[in-house]
Structure 1
Amino acid sequence: MDTQQNTALTRALAEVPGPLPTSGVIHITLPHTDRFTVVGNHLAQHPDLSCTAVGLAVRIQSLPQGTEVSIKALTARCKEGEKRIAAALRELEAHGYLQRFRNRLPGEKVITRTVFCNQPAALTHPRRQSSQTPVPAPAPARSQPPVPDPDAEPEPEPDPVPVPPGPPLPPVPLGTSAPETRVPLPVPPPPAPLFVPLVPPPTAPRTPRPPLPQPSTLTPELGRAATALLSDLRRHAPEFTLSEDDIRHLAPAVATWLERDAHPDTIRRTLTDAPPQPLRHPVKLLKHRLTALLPPPLPGARDLAAPARPRIVVTPFQTCDDCDRAFRSPTPGRCRDCRETRAYREQRTEGVRNEGVCAAA
C-alpha cells in the first residue's frame, strides 16, 4: 500500500500565498479563536536558553493564575525528570523570566511563591511614551451665573469662623516668594540588558566600506596592464564581463597589485576563484577582493638580511709576574692576591720606618 496522504494538508498548502520556498520549513498559519497563548520571539528564539527551558516557559505561561508550578507539580505534568526541570527553572530565573521567593504566613509557615514574567525586558526598559500629543477632553460648559432679582431680599451673610491665635509669621518682601527647598533625587544607574542580540537592528548605522587601494604613482604602463587584465577576465570566467566604466573604476586597484609585484596570473586567479552562485554583482565582488586581499609590498634586500649579532668582547688570560697564576685582565701584570699582598707589605714597611724615625728623635 502507498503512503496515505492528508488531503486537508494538501489543500492548505495550495492556499498558501506566494511561491513556496525550495528548502526549509513551510508555515501554514491559521488564526486561533480559543485556547491560545501569545509567546514573544524573544523567548521562542532566545540564544542562551535551552529548548527545555523555552518549552517549560511556554507551559508555565499557558497555565491559569494560581496553578502550582513547583518542581514536583511540573514533573507530574511533563515527561521530563526533576533534574531537567530544575535546571530549566534555574535558566529562566537567571534570565529574568522566573522569580522565586519565600513568604512567611501568620502561623510561622513558610511557602515558596513563584512569579513568571512573559517579557522581562519591558520591566528594565519601559516603552517610551508615544510622541502623539493626546487630545484634551472638552471642558464642561460653564453654567451662567444667576441674574439677581432686584425685588428679592438680600441673603444674610454667614458668621465669620473664629481663628485661634498663633505665632506671628515673618514678613515676606513684596515681589518675592517664599524659598522652596528641593532635594535632588538620586539618578538610578541604567539597567544592564538581559542579552545582546547578535544581529544588529535594521536602523543601526552601517560601517562605511574601505576605499579602493590606489598606487603611489599610476604610470601609463601600470594603467595599460591593469586595463588589459580586467578586460581579459571574461575569457577565463564569462560571468566577469565588465563594462568600460567598471574597468576604468577598478584599474587603479589592479595597478596597486601590479605595483607590489603581484603576478598577473595570481591576480586573475584571486579575483575569479570560486565565485558565489549565482553571481549577481561581479563588480562588488571584485571591489571586495581587491581591497580585502591586497598583498603587502615585497620586502627589500636590507629587510631580508639577518640582523648582526652583538659583538662579545672576551678578556684574555694573563700570567701573574709573582705567582705564575693565570687570571683575566686586558693588560699583563700581577693577580689580585699578589697586588693586595704587595700593598700590605709596603704599608707595613712604611709603618716600621716611621717608628724607627720617631725612636731616634
Structure 2
Amino acid sequence: MTILVTGGTGYIGSHTCVELLNAGLEIVIIDNLSNSSIQALNRMKEITGKEISFYKTDLLNKSEVERVFIEHQIEAVIHFAGYKSVGESVQAPLRYYHNNLTGTFILCEVMEKYGVHKMVFSSSATVYGLQDQTPLSENLPLQATNPYGRTKLMIEEILRDVYTANQNWSIALLRYFNPVGAHSSGRIGEDPNGIPNNLVPYITQVTAGKLSELSIFGNDYPTRDGTGIRDYIHVVDLAEGHVKALNKVMNSTGVNAYNLGTGSGYSVMEMVQAFEKVTGRRIPYKVIDRRPGDIGISYADATKADVELSWKASRGLMEMCEDSWRWQKNNPNGYKEELVTLSK
C-alpha cells in the first residue's frame, strides 16, 4: 500500500514516515522544504533501511501534484503540509490563508480526480480556542483565536463538506496537543528556524548554551506551581497515532476528529525540573508577564482515540526529555551542519 505524505520531511511528518515504513507501508513524500531539511529524508532512510520516493514541490503547483498521482498508485494521503507558526500567522494572515487553504483545495481536487478518498489530516488543538473547561473533548464547540488555528478549523469544515458531497471519502482529523521529543536514535527531531516558538526546543537550546535563559510567561496561574500546564505528547506516540488513524480510514467512511494527547498535563516548571534532572545542568530562567490569551490549564480528553483507534500515548515525561536532549546534543545546529544534495 502506497501512502502520500505531504510535508513529510517536517518534524511530525518525518517521525510519522518512519512509523509508516516500520509498519511495512510504502510512502511518497511531497515537500517544498520551506520549513524542513532534505537531510531529514536521508536520515529516515538510514533509520529504516527503506527507500522513499521524494518530490520537492509545493501543493500550490497542481501539475506537479498530479504527476505524483500519475507516477504512483496512491491509496491514501496523510496531509501535514502547511505553515504552522501562530505568531507569524497573526503578522501575515493572507499568506497563511492562501497557502494552507489553497494547498488543501488542490490536494483534494487531485485526490478526487484520481479516485483517492482516504485522508488523515494534521489538525491542531488550537481549533478549541480558549475554553473554560478541561480536559478538552472532541464534542466541544470550536473557536480558533488566530489565523493559523482558523486555517485548521476551516479545513476541518471543508473536509466535512467534501464528505457530504461524496460519501466515499474517509477522513480522520487529528487534533494534536503539544508534541515534544525526538526519535530515540537521535537522528531526526525538531529543527526550528531561528529562536524556537515552543517550550521544549527553547529549553534544550538554553541548556546547550545557545540561548541565555528561558522566559516563563507568568507564574500566577491557579495551578500547582503557578505556571501554565499543557498536554505534552512524545512525537513518536503522535506518529503511531497516525498509523492507527490510517488503519481506521482505510476500513471505513465518514469524517471523525480525534484528540492526540496524553490526557494529563505538566507545568512549565515541571518541564524545566525534568530537563535539569535529565541533563544534570541548571536551566536559567526568568518569569515575565503572561501572554495575552494564554490560559492556565489545557489538556486532552483522549478517550475517543483509545476506543476507536486503539491508540494511547505510552511515553512519559522523562523519555520525552531524554530524547529531546539526545537530539539537541547530537545535532547542536539541527540539520544545518551537513551539506546535502537533492537527487529528485
Shorter-chain TM-score: which interval?
A: under 0.3
Provide TM-score, normalisation by structure 2: 0.17
More helix by share: 2
Q: Which structure would you say has the larger Rg? A: 1
More strand by share: 2
Higher relative contact order (CA 8 A, sep 6+): 2
